[in-house]
Amino acid sequence: MDLRLSEPDRRFRDEVRRVVDAELDPATRSRMEAGRLPTKAQWVAWHRALARRGWSVPEWPKEHGGPGWDAVRRYLFRETLQAAPAPQPQQFGTQMVGPVLIAFGSEEQKRRFLPRIVGLEDWWCQGFSEPDAGSDLAGLRTTARLEGEHWVVTGQKTWTTLAHWADWMFALVRTDPKAAKPQAGIGFLLIDMRSPGITVRPILTIDGEHEVNEVFFDEVRVSVANMVGDPKRGWDCAKFLLAHERAGQARVGIAKERIRRLKRLAADARSPRGRLIDDASFRDRLAAIEVEVKALEITCLRVVACEARRGGEPRPDPASSLLKIRGSEILQALATLTLEAAGEAALAAPEEQPEPARNDPLSLPDWAARSAPLWMNWRKLSIYGGTNEIQRNIMAKAFLGL
């Protein structure tokens, strides 16, 4: 047993750090520091910078443009980006539809779509959830009716993250309404977002952000060439995708970055007992979270080391449910601590363009103004990608046989 990284792996991590420091746009970084998504232009620019080094699809096999890293390097890469903080390669293409196409897609689909994912020439969005199909995804009702060489799609998707930026959607659609089981008769369909009959309507969340949308389909015609695999076996693709999505959800690097940041902020913030950083109750609570981050990190490394020994591309592992549950809970606890650190200043809404290093004693610090929106936004972490309750169901079944 040995917890230390090998010398080549350490050098690899340093190289990733160096590239991030040299090439990440400071404006992108400061948006990430504020806990916001990058703008589309920022994200595309960064993704392409990674792509130029062959780093934009860490999990893919080499033949499709992957860098050929083992699980340890894939982990180090993602963690280093998180800790910077820098955006990850855009995930809808690289971690969701890409692996599905590699596993289930036709040769033509791979040729057509995979290279454009590597360079983020197509922005993908995920058409899974519907108003009546959330955790019970198999209850989805958007239909695709076969008419000659086209599937005709009618229905509605919701919570579609960044659909307003998307060129393409991968969607689950009901191809056989008379199938015996709800999971049967579902297809995995690739839909051009510029097709006639698609309407994208924003859903504004309480933090003031526009991340998610409703997407309506009214007799949208999609070529049969865009169906991935068997039109009645799309559920296999969905399960494959969801299991992949959960992998790497521990977000240890984000937690570390938030902790370092919170310590800096707490040196300036005040509590009734003096400086916040000197307040024993604050310090003990922060220390408790740091301990939990360490336990999560080692657990994550155990999963990663196991994967690295097995070799090859990532495979679904129910242990990733554990990582997702604890990763989300820890970030939410950090957001709570930051919110409390802000005190009354958490009431003020953030300004769109905060002055970088302003020393105006009359104005409230930007981090404090951001603390409430971030706290509210991060409630999503235990909801999306399979709620934490669904993750516990998965674990109870897989590990406990309950």
Partner 1 sequence: MDFELSEHQRLLRDSLSCLLRDRYGFDRRKAYARAPEGWSREVWHAFAALGLLALPFAEEDGGLGGGAVETMLVAEAFGESLVLEPWFATVVLGGGFLRHGASPDLRASLVPRLADGEVLLALAHAEPGATSAVAEVATRALRDGERWVVSGRKTLVLHGDVADHLVVTARVAGNPGEGQGLAAFLVPTNAAGLSRRVLRTNDGRRAADVVLEHVFVGERCVLGEPGAALGLIEQVQQEAIAALAAEAVGVMTLAHRLTVEHLKTRRQFGRPIGSFQVLQHRATDMLIALEEARSMAIYAAMSLAEPDAGERRRAFAAVKALIGRRGRFVAETAVQLHGGIGLTMDYAVSHCMARLVGIDAIFGNAAHHLACLADAGGLI
Q: Which residues inside 68-107 make contact with partner 1, applying CB under 8 A? A: 72
Indicate the SS3 state at residue 317: coil
Instruction: Please name which of 80, 76, 87 lies closest in space to residue 33, comparing C-alpha atoms.
Output: 87
> For residues 16 and 162, which CB has a smaller minimum distance to partner 1 in the complex?
16
Is 120 a residue that touches partner 1 (CB under 8 A)?
A: no
Is 264 a residue that touches partner 1 (CB under 8 A)?
A: no
Question: x/- string (CB under 8 A) for partner 1, residues 315-344?
Answer: -------x--xx------------------
- 151 forms bridges with which residues in the sheet? 146, 222
Pick from 111, 309, 315, 358: which binds partner 1 (CB under 8 A)? 309
Instruction: Please name which of 25, 19, 57 lies closest in space to residue 43, comparing C-alpha atoms.
Output: 25
In whole angstroms, the minimum distance from the beta carbon of 140 to partner 1 comes to 22
What is the C-alpha separation between 77 and 131, in angstroms, rounded?
Answer: 36
Q: Which residues inside 273-302 make contact with partner 1, applying CB under 8 A? A: 280, 283-284, 286-288, 290-299, 301-302
Residue 237 token pair: 């693709």
The b-or-e profile of 38-70 (16+ CB within 10 A means b, else e) is beeebbbbbbebbbeeebbbbbbeeebbbbebb
Is 5 a residue that touches partner 1 (CB under 8 A)?
A: yes
Residue 42 token pair: 């920022």
Instruction: Tokens 């495979």: give the residue.
Output: 315
Residues in contact with partner 1, counted by CB under 8 A, come to a total of 47
In whole angstroms, the minimum distance from the beta carbon of 186 to partner 1 comes to 25
Question: x/- string (CB under 8 A) for partner 1, residues 202-241?
Answer: ----------------------------------------
Is 1 a residue that touches partner 1 (CB under 8 A)?
A: yes
Return the DSSP state at 39. P
> For residues 297 and 313, which CB has a smaller minimum distance to partner 1 in the complex?
297
245 classed as catalytic = yes
What is the C-alpha separation between 51 and 252, in angstroms, rounded?
Answer: 24
Sequence-distant (6+) residues with CB within 8 A of 136 are none
> For residues 286 and 335, which CB has a smaller minimum distance to partner 1 in the complex?
286
Question: How far is Cα of residue 210 from the mean position of the Cα atoms in its chain?
Answer: 16
Instruction: Please name which of 138, 240, 244, 153 lies closest in space to residue 190, comparing C-alpha atoms.
Output: 153
Sequence-distant (6+) residues with CB within 8 A of 334 are 255, 258, 259, 262, 289
Is 6 a residue that touches partner 1 (CB under 8 A)?
A: yes
Beta strands (DSSP E) in 88-235 are: 124-127, 143-147, 150-161, 168-174, 186-192, 198-203, 212-223, 227-228
In whole angstroms, the minimum distance from the beta carbon of 81 to partner 1 comes to 17
Question: x/- string (CB under 8 A) for partner 1, residues 8-47?
Answer: -x--------------------------------------
Pairing label, strands 124-127, 270-271: unpaired
Residue 103 token pair: 């596993």
In whole angstroms, the minimum distance from the beta carbon of 324 to partner 1 comes to 11
> For residues 219 and 268, which CB has a smaller minimum distance to partner 1 in the complex?
268
> For residues 298 and 347, which CB has a smaller minimum distance to partner 1 in the complex?
298
Pick from 36, 263, 270, 380: which binds partner 1 (CB under 8 A)? 263
> Of these residues, 59, 130, 211, 245, which one is catalytic?
245
In whole angstroms, the minimum distance from the beta carbon of 79 to partner 1 comes to 13
What is the C-alpha separation between 351 and 208, in angstroms, rounded?
Answer: 11
Is 389 a residue that touches partner 1 (CB under 8 A)?
A: yes
CA angle 354, 359, 362 (to 5 degrees): 85
In whole angstroms, the minimum distance from the beta carbon of 389 to partner 1 comes to 7
Residue 126 token pair: 């995920």
In whole angstroms, the minimum distance from the beta carbon of 395 to partner 1 comes to 5
> For residues 1 and 357, which CB has a smaller minimum distance to partner 1 in the complex?
1
Kindly list the residues in this chain that would bind partner 1 in the complex (CB under 8 A).
1-6, 9, 72, 256, 259-260, 263, 280, 283-284, 286-288, 290-299, 301-302, 304-306, 308-309, 322, 325-326, 389, 392-393, 395-396, 399-402
Catalytic residue positions, numbered: 245
